[in-house]
Homo-oligomer: A and B are copies of this chain.
Amino acid sequence: MQRGFEPAEFQNRLARAQSLMAAAGLDALMLTTETDIRYFTGFLTRFWESPTRPWFLVVPQSGRPIAVIPSIGAALMRKTWITDIRTWSAPDLSDDGVTLLADTIRECVGAGARIGVPDGHGTHLRMPLQDYQRVLDLLPQATFDGDHRIIETLRRVKSPAELAKIERACAIAGRAFDRVGEIAGAGVPLDQVFRDFQSLCLDQGADWVPYLAGGTGPLGYDDVISPAAPEPLQQGHVLMLDTGLVWDGYFCDFDRNFAVGPVSDEVHGAYTKLLEATQAGQEAAVIGATASDIYHAMDRVLTGGRGGGDAGRLGHGLGMQLTEWPSFIASDPTEIVAGMVITLEPGITMSDGSVLVHEDDFVITEQGARQLTPRAPRQMMEI
């Protein structure tokens, strides 16, 4: 499979964005995060791990995006389809791209333009607040507005080329999960399992493994976000591994539960219920339904409709990030449309207060929600 995208992919994204910008009355978008900039440029690097330097992309209502970036990124940006690349030597403690950004906006869309900056759920501004204020001060006639959820609207729906990358990530993780018996079992410390599972993911073709969580316990685990302790796995306990690995900038996000030797009937019963809830969610995930409908379909199986649970939701969107819009909660009205990629992630609170969680990934199609992750065993796999 080829890395990157054809220029047409970016042209389509840009055209859709510009159409929404016109409808919202925005002259440009000002973008600052890894995903938002990559979405329009294809600029892919792990260098965002360094928080030092800000990066900017100006997406005008007509014409091509303009990159305003530290010079350290120029060589890589020149390999993308972006041709207007303006750089400064960063870090610059007195003016870290601020004047260059303001000048670019002024030249590109005018001093009195209306600029959209993503400000809604799941977003943040990746630049110092102080510098953002300086940009506003340098453009006193401009209006800074939110992005009217344009980025969310675009990124919620995946193109076939994006979907292919997510499917590949899912397949890689699926093969790694198949091999968990090689690295885990009673007596193996959980932190060793975490290290070795990441190596399995890499061995199966992951570019990298940004996310791994998991847990273990007699019935379930304390939560689904903890790092691994050095305690050895115990016979009769459950082991859960939940990974977000990346292939060419796209995530999978799913987990598998394993029985370390025979586990209790309560675990088997809960596991079956989690699979039933996942299936109910899959059946509800049809075009025209809402995120809320999917939540309720799953929650009816899990709690009889009472809701609750610390996780706060029963799944979410997936793509360039480990978690994206929408959220499967009672109050998310997002309409389900073809091309959305989602995870269904039901959880059950066990009798000892621990939790058991299952997760699978799906794409919404005209024929219903198609599962992207390998089918989980009907009985919890014993290792």
Cα separation A310 to B225 with both chains bound (whole Å): 38
In contact, B207 and A191 (Cβ under 8 angstroms): yes
Tell me, yes or no, whether A153 is within 8 Å of chain B by CB: no
In contact, A227 and B128 (Cβ under 8 angstroms): no
Instruction: Please give, as numbers and ranges, the residues of chain B lying within 8 Å of A230 by CB-CB distance.
Output: 3
In contact, A329 and B202 (Cβ under 8 angstroms): no
In contact, A124 and B125 (Cβ under 8 angstroms): yes
Q: Which of B191, B244, B311 contacts A72 (CB 8 A)?
A: B311
Instruction: Please give, as numbers and ranges, the residues of chain B lying within 8 Å of A94 by CB-CB distance.
Output: 331
Minimum CB–CB distance from A295 to chain B (whole Å) comes to 12
Cα separation A208 to B197 with both chains bound (whole Å): 11
Q: Which of B44, B73, B122 contacts A52 (CB 8 A)?
A: B122
Instruction: Please give, as numbers and ranges, the residues of chain B lying within 8 Å of A127 by CB-CB distance.
Output: 124
In contact, A323 and B227 (Cβ under 8 angstroms): no
Question: Scoring A residues 218 to 256 as 1 if CB is less than 8 Å from chain B, else 0, what string do you get?
Answer: 000011111111100000000000001000000000000
In contact, A331 and B72 (Cβ under 8 angstroms): no
Cα separation A223 to B96 with both chains bound (whole Å): 20
The residue of chain B having its C-beta at the shortest distance from the C-beta of A325 within the complex is B52
The residue of chain B having its C-beta at the shortest distance from the C-beta of A200 within the complex is B199
Minimum CB–CB distance from A229 to chain B (whole Å) comes to 8
Interface of A is mostly: loop
Instruction: Please give, as numbers and ranges, the residues of chain B lying within 8 Å of A324 by CB-CB distance.
Output: 52
Supposing A121-B96, A127-B124, A225-B45 touch, asked if A208 and B207 sit within 8 A by C-beta, the answer is no
Tell me, yes or no, whether A322 is within 8 Å of chain B by CB: yes
Cα separation A195 to B208 with both chains bound (whole Å): 7
Tell me, yes or no, whether A282 is within 8 Å of chain B by CB: no
The residue of chain B having its C-beta at the shortest distance from the C-beta of A332 within the complex is B93
In contact, B130 and A119 (Cβ under 8 angstroms): yes
In contact, A331 and B93 (Cβ under 8 angstroms): yes
Tell me, yes or no, whether A382 is within 8 Å of chain B by CB: no
Tell me, yes or no, whether A108 is within 8 Å of chain B by CB: no
Instruction: Please give, as numbers and ranges, the residues of chain B lying within 8 Å of A312 by CB-CB distance.
Output: 53, 70-72, 89-92
Cα separation A339 to B377 with both chains bound (whole Å): 52
Of the listed stretches A6-14, A209-217, A260-268, name the one at the interface; the rest are far from the partner chain. A209-217
Tell me, yes or no, whether A177 is within 8 Å of chain B by CB: no
Minimum CB–CB distance from A381 to chain B (whole Å) comes to 23
Minimum CB–CB distance from A321 to chain B (whole Å) comes to 6
In contact, A321 and B50 (Cβ under 8 angstroms): yes
Cα separation A120 to B130 with both chains bound (whole Å): 6
- The interface of chain A, by Cβ under 8 A from chain B, is 3, 44-47, 49-53, 70-76, 89-94, 96, 117-130, 146, 191, 194-196, 198-199, 202-203, 205-213, 222-230, 244, 310-313, 316, 321-324, 327, 329, 331-332
Could you show 20 A-B contacts with beta carbons less than 8 Å apart? A45-B226, A46-B211, A46-B212, A51-B124, A70-B312, A71-B312, A73-B225, A75-B223, A76-B223, A89-B310, A91-B327, A92-B312, A118-B129, A120-B128, A122-B128, A124-B126, A124-B128, A124-B129, A195-B202, A195-B207
